[in-house]
């Protein structure tokens, strides 16, 4: 059994004319709901994340700053991130979905989960919003798994076209959380070089795979397979989290690395194979980017069908 987290509340985070807007997920939500009726999915209800859990990733001062900024009417909370009065609650619901999914999977109440949430999270750092992201959803899930649920080895795999710089910062010196980011080289933020491998106890647990424009789909998948298998063998994760951005799709208006919708089924299968070997099949996937609504819905369909496969 797999779990699906999707709710109209995520349409209340209004961002004006940014590419990350409510309209981008509407076709995906409809498609996901249809799939859930026919595949092995159960749709979950949940509540927003608690302060105690959110503070495992973000400072109390930053959390209050986001709350106050939204309550005062919103606007540009960073150069490229916009919020409205509802955004604070919506962002806490996004983190809450991921944390509930992690609890369900770790407690063996389900094997896999997909969180169709927004705002995305992988650019959010402990004290700053960036790149459409307010709170780091996957980071909160990872910290919950370690600090509350008793796991000590987590692997986060980020295939968004942009480098997951916020997630990397959070776990830079953390030896219990491995982070792999496969992204377009020399792109937004211009971070995520192969030389960035972590520090202290986290040295060697951070892996970046920058991909040059023009890389073939087959070569991309081969690079992904090799990197995932190598880091998973090193980490031996008890749980795998996916930062599932779909903006490497060839029709994405923001990023793109030329991938087709069906390529994300292959990437999903690769992750599931690694999770079966090391993590008893435990996988929680979380939506990040993807800004062509039609392409996003297709990609998520392929992703969900693979996650539901037995």
Structure-token pair, residue 228: 């995932």
Number of C-beta neighbours around residue 269 at 10 A: 14
Assess whether 249 carries a catalytic annotation.
no
Q: How far is CA 201 from the centre of its chain?
A: 24
Coil, strand, or helix at residue 95? helix
Looking at the chain, list the stretches that DSSP marks H as alpha helix, in order from N- to C-terminal side: 26-38, 51-54, 60-71, 87-106, 137-147, 165-170, 217-235, 263-278, 293-308
Q: Which residues contact 47 (CB under 8 A, 6 or more apart)?
A: 93, 96, 100
Q: How far apart are CA 252 and CA 233, in angstroms?
A: 32
Structure-token pair, residue 239: 């749980």
Q: How far apart are CA 74 and CA 173, in angstroms?
A: 33
Q: How far apart are CA 35 and CA 125, in angstroms?
A: 34
Q: Is 65 exposed, middle or buried (0-12, 13-18, 19+ CB in 10 A)?
A: middle
Per DSSP, the residues of 210-223 read EE-TT--HHHHHHH
Q: How far apart are CA 30 and CA 49, in angstroms?
A: 25
User: Choosing from 13, 122, 123, 302, which is the catalytic residue?
Assistant: 123
**Which residues belong to the active site?**
123
């Amino acid at each position: 059994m797999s779990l699906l987290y999707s709710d109209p509340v995520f349409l209340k985070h209004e961002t004006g004319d940014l590419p990350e807007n409510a309209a981008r997920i509407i076709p995906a939500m409809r498609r996901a709901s249809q799939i859930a009726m026919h595949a092995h999915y159960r749709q979950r209800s949940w509540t927003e994340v608690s302060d105690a859990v959110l503070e495992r990733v973000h400072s109390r001062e930053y959390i209050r700053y986001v709350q106050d900024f939204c309550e005062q009417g919103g606007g540009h909370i960073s150069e490229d991130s916009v919020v409205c009065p509802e955004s604070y609650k919506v962002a806490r619901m996004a983190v809450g979905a991921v944390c509930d999914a992690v609890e369900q999977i770790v407690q063996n109440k389900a094997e896999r989960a997909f969180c169709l949430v927004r705002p995305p999270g992988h650019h959010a750092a402990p004290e700053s919003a960036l790149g459409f992201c307010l709170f780091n959803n996957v980071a909160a899930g990872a910290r919950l798994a370690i600090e509350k649920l008793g796991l000590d080895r987590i692997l986060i795999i980020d295939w968004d076209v942009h480098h997951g710089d916020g997630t990397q910062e959070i776990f830079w010196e953390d030896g219990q959380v491995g982070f792999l980011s496969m992204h377009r080289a020399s792109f937004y933020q211009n971070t995520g070089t192969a030389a960035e491998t972590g520090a202290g106890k986290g040295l060697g647990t951070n892996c970046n795979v920058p991909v040059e424009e023009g890389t073939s789909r087959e070569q991309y998948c081969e690079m992904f397979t090799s990197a995932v298998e190598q880091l998973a063998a090193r980490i031996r994760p008890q749980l795998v989290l996916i930062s599932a951005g779909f903006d490497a799709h060839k029709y994405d208006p923001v990023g793109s690395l030329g991938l087709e919708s069906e390529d994300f089924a292959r990437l999903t299968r690769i992750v599931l194979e690694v999770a079966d070997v090391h993590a008893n099949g435990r996988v929680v996937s979380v939506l990040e980017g993807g800004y062509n609504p039609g392409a996003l819905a297709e990609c998520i369909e392929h992703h969900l069908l693979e996650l539901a496969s037995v």
